[in-house]
Chains A and B, each alone.
Chain A
Amino acid sequence: MLRFQALISEHTEEHGKTLPDAAGEVGRGCQVEGYPDSNFVGRSCFEKRPGGPIDRVLAPHLYYSGTAALGVASHASCPGTAGLRQRVSPGVDRARRLEASSTDPATTTITITTRQEVESMLNQTRTIPRVRTLCTAVCLALGLGVTTSASAEDPVRIGAIYIMSGSPSVYGQFAQQGMQLAVDEINEEGGILGHEVEFVLEDSQIKADAAIQAARKLVYSEQVHGLMGLDSSGVATGVVPVVPELQRPFIITHAATPDVTGKLCNRYTYRLSVNISQNTKAAAEIAEQSGAKRWTTIGPDYAFGHQSWEFFGNYLKELDPEVELMERTAFPRFGNEDFTPFINNVMDAKPDGVLVSLWGGDLVNFIRQANNLGFFDRDFEVLMTLGGATEVMSALGNDVPEGIWVGTRYWFAAHDNDVNNAFVTAYMERYGKPPSYNAEGAYAGIYAYKAAIEKAGSTDPEAITDALSGLTFPAPTGSLTFREGDHQAVVGPTWGQTAALSEEYGVRMLDPMKTFDGDLVTPDVSETGCSL
């Protein structure tokens, strides 16, 4: 097969197989390439740093090229595309479906030689409104005959920061899958305002400083339009004060500290996931109904663990002033290995109820060691605020004790609506496991951006930021709204009692199960300490 490419740039005019490597040329560009005997074109965007060759592929994607005879992009030749195969594959499927409509491939010729010509040609077509000035330094395209729908325009780029290393990195993995699914769905449907969507993922390392650096890299180096992610409250409290400097909207999809939509709130920061006050208010209701009077906690020794206990205590006292919040609590270090002393400590205290706010690998360790020590056989209620994470539930399978209350920001079987049904089905089909709350948060985050950009009618970050305020959009948990007062989504957690293991999903199901109404568990804006 003959593969041909043409390079169009403002300064140079080159034809050939190689990508430009002239020193001094810096910028980002897109390349369209194909094969003469099929009618598909692949488009890849590249970034070029000073003095070096093309650095990386930002968005391989496939287009059907209309009447022109072009082919599937060869991604094997592009560095860094190995991990992006998933993104390409749906396009390939479409390519196969459309193959029959191919017209005579022999007529294809390279006709474009200058950027102006590409632009003018692109401008003739409906789907490619413009070539952004940022993209002008290097622009690669392939001649597409007379009419074309291939584009050299910039995609909507969303920067995501999740935990991708260390023991909690399974949460990042779920988030990545959720985003991937959303991005593929949106692109399949024609993108956002005709723009293709893509995400760039960075590792937060569960450290605030690493996350801040990642955010700067995403904004200044990757030129993203918006940011999302953050898994830990500790990281979020560090990142959020810096967000206004970056001048990009930031949708938090996991971190739960009330502060980021409370005293630290700012114009750019939004959160679509359930926060601590929402979750612990629900927990307090469950706790109150259980009738247990003396409560203690085991939680990670950082803001999240301490705030969970504080908020839970306050809400529970409101509901039932009789309850006793015990002095004797246990806060093992995040990432602790041996919880036995802490478990013994709590069992010795002989409480009526225990609030467990551990998560991730800690929770896995804790549950197994607690099983061994007979913790769950004791005569007290156990509430796990994040026990309903499928990351944990599927790692443990049957080791999750039956009949304890677990909370989660989202439970895949709790929402019977079209969005959720489609999401769960697609997720199961693609990844073979039910989506976790983090996968759902990431998936909804992308859709939140879609809704905001469509509302704003622009990809300008400031316009997106404004559009997010008060935005209502469909999410798997139902229709979500970012409150104008504090930018917190009005959403409630799902709590349920662990029941039998499901063969289909590989996790224990929840029964009984209760999804709390966001309106009822979300504190009033005036209570959050946020003033926008």
Chain B
Amino acid sequence: MQSFIAALLNSLDIALLLFVIAVGLNIIFGVLNVINFAHGALYMLGAYFAYTAMGLLGLSFWVALVVAPLLVAVVAIAIERLMLRMVYDRHITDSLLLTFALLLIIDESVRMIWGPSIHVVDPPALLTGTFSVFGVNYPIYGLFVIAVGIAMMLGLWLLFTRTRLGRIVRAAALDREMAQTLGINVPMVITGVFAFGAWIAAVGGVVAAPMRAIGPAMGEKIIIESFIVVVIGGLGSFPGTLLGALVLGFIHGFGGRFLPEINLVLPYIGMALVLLIKPQGLMGKRASA
């Protein structure tokens, strides 16, 4: 029972962190029709900015949580304006290749700027320590991650369904030309959405910073995981992303705990199964392909 609860909590906190990262990926895909390979690199950039703010400049975690994602969003605006814009009207593989190039560039730049060492930052005092449920000790910070995930989910849901801005974005996602004719500044919306997606990834990076080691390889691992989440849940589907993240979180939380021999293979088997049975993902709209 105890181990079950520990695995459950662990699954949830992995899942909600994954959700935060994958949802940005999915929003970008939904609107831009771009699979952003560099999304994990933006997440890493968020973590490194947080490290710079907290570890080098001595600012608090909360300041980092506000500032770092904004900086990453600025980087993202530059990327979108200078590079991605050139390939929208081409085949989707071109944007995949271009963002893959970006992944290499950002990864290596990070290593040049911050060096290859592993960095760590401490969680804020408020969130340090453990709590106990049913005899299981669990870090408070894990709860915080879960809370951030839920807050992000609610915020996004409200944004997309209850605000004018959200409707504009959805309109642009649905039919660019029509949105343009209706007087929506589509290029602006696209830049905004890409920056917003990057912002979300960076929030994930800052949140992850106190519990993961900050190192040059952190983005690469998360991007594959995010792909799996998005594919399992459904490309372009918002609730699907949550479901996908939960599935993967549980695979990690319980698989690592109870089936360590095959825990590496499980996520891929899950992904392949979903793609075969329901290629558009568990919650995806009917795929165009």
Q: Which residues of A contact B (CB under 8 A)?
A: 164-167, 169-170, 172-173, 330-333, 335, 337-338, 340-342, 344-345, 348, 360-361, 364-365, 368-369, 372-374, 391, 395-396, 399
Contacts and interface: CB of A to CB of B under 8 A. Distances in A.
Nearest to A365: B213
A170 B130 contact: no
B157 to A, nearest CB: 27
Nearest to B218: A337
Q: Is the interface of A mostly helix, strand, loop or mixed?
A: helix
A347 to B, nearest CB: 8
B137 A373 contact: yes
Interface residues on B, range: 35 or more
A57 to B, nearest CB: 21
B137 A342 contact: no
A332 B256 contact: yes
B273 interface: no
Interface in B104-125: 111, 115-120, 122
A48 to B, nearest CB: 28
Contacts of B256: 332, 338, 340-342, 345
Contacts of A368: 120, 211, 213
B118 A338 contact: no
A338 B252 contact: yes
B61 to A, nearest CB: 15
Given A169-B111, A341-B10, A345-B257, 6 more contacts: A166-B116, A166-B217, A338-B14, A341-B257, A372-B142, A373-B139
Contacts of B222: 337
B6 A364 contact: no
Contacts of A169: 111, 116-117, 216
A333 B3 contact: no
A170 B116 contact: yes
B73 interface: no
Contact of B212 (A172, A337, A348): A337
B3 A170 contact: no
Given A167-B215, A344-B3, A361-B215, A399 B120 contact: yes
A165 B111 contact: yes
Contact of B264 (A333, A340, A396): A333
A167 B217 contact: yes
Given A340-B10, A372-B139, A373-B137, A345 B260 contact: yes
A396 B120 contact: yes
A335 B120 contact: no
A326 B181 CA distance: 69
Contacts of A165: 111, 116, 216
B116 A164 contact: yes
A372 B130 CA distance: 7
Contact of A341 (B221, B253, B264): B253
A340 B15 CA distance: 13
A335 B14 contact: no
16 contacts: A165-B116, A170-B118, A337-B218, A340-B10, A340-B14, A342-B257, A342-B260, A348-B3, A361-B215, A364-B118, A364-B213, A368-B120, A368-B213, A373-B138, A374-B137, A395-B120
Interface string B215-254: 1111001100000000000000000000000000000111
A167 B118 contact: yes
B37 interface: no
Nearest to B111: A165
B141 interface: yes
Nearest to B141: A372
Contacts of B255: 341
Contacts of A331: 260
A399 B123 CA distance: 12
A344 B139 contact: no
B2 interface: yes
A166 B216 contact: yes
A333 to B, nearest CB: 6
Contacts of A396: 120
A335 B216 CA distance: 12
B77 interface: no
A201 B10 CA distance: 42
A236 B219 CA distance: 27
Interface in B130-176: 130, 137-139, 141-142
B65 interface: no
B116 A364 contact: no
Contacts of B2: 348
Nearest to B257: A341
A395 B118 contact: yes
A343 to B, nearest CB: 9
A373 B253 CA distance: 15
Contact of A335 (B7, B137, B221, B253): B221
A366 to B, nearest CB: 9
A331 B259 CA distance: 11
A333 B216 CA distance: 18
A345 B7 CA distance: 9
Closest 4 pairs (CB-CB, A-B)? A341-B256, A169-B116, A372-B139, A167-B215
A372 B252 CA distance: 18
A403 B257 CA distance: 27
A335 B118 CA distance: 12
B217 A335 contact: yes
A352 to B, nearest CB: 19
A372 to B, nearest CB: 4
Nearest to B11: A341
A505 B141 CA distance: 30
B205 to A, nearest CB: 13
A373 B130 contact: yes
Given A166-B217, A344-B7, A365 B257 contact: no
A212 to B, nearest CB: 22
Contact of B257 (A335, A344, A372): A344
Nearest to A172: B116
Contacts of A340: 10, 14, 253, 256
A361 B118 contact: yes
Contacts of A372: 130, 139, 141-142, 211
B111 A167 contact: no
Contacts of A395: 117-120, 213
A364 B3 CA distance: 24
B12 to A, nearest CB: 11
Most buried by B among A164, A360, A373: A373
A28 to B, nearest CB: 29
A394 to B, nearest CB: 9
B216 A365 contact: no
A335 B222 CA distance: 12
B7 A341 contact: yes
A344 B6 contact: yes
A374 B130 contact: yes
A368 B208 CA distance: 13
Nearest to A330: B260
Contact of A364 (B10, B115, B120): B120
A164 B254 CA distance: 34
